[in-house]
Amino acid sequence: MRPTILILICIAIATLQHCTAARAAESYYFDIEAGPAEATLNEWSKQSDYNIMFNFRILSGVRTKAVQGKMDPFIALRVMLGETHLYFDILERRTVSVLAREPFCDSVIANSYLPDLPPTPPCQARR
């Protein structure tokens, strides 16, 4: 293997390890009461310093769970969305999108970003 390619591979591995370590160390203190999703998701955005995008129509009548304590922002969001029909996806480094699942889905939590959680498969309607 050429030395240049080997050096580039080593740099890529070191960068990946650094990004993973920085990401793992990121945690925030959350104090968000259970309530209407419109309000609680905006509060999550303020407390986590992440941008959040959603369509207000999918949040109509949805209540999220409370979160309190120091934790990873994505764990906090996952807990908040818990038993709703909503899930989230990470669009960019500091931007999250909240989406609605199709009807009849068994799984309500999505996280393709968190390494300790399996990616959420596409939802299929029951027959």
In tens, the pLDDT along 53-77 reads 999 999 999 999 999 999 999 999 9
Q: Out of 3.40.50.2300, 3.40.50.150, 3.55.50.30, 3.40.605.10, which CATH number does the structure's domain 28-100 have?
A: 3.55.50.30
Nearest to residue 74, comparing CAs of 56, 100, 101, 98? Answer: 98
Q: Which residue has the higher pLDDT, 5 or 29?
A: 29
- What is the spatial distance between Cα 127 and Cα 53, in angstroms, rounded to a whole number? 32
pLDDT for position 1: 54
Domain spans, the chain: 28-100
DSSP secondary structure letter of residue 48:
H
pLDDT for 97 beyond 90: yes
Averaged pLDDT of the chain: 77
Q: What pLDDT, in 10s, does the model give residues 9-28?
A: 656 666 555 444 445 558 99
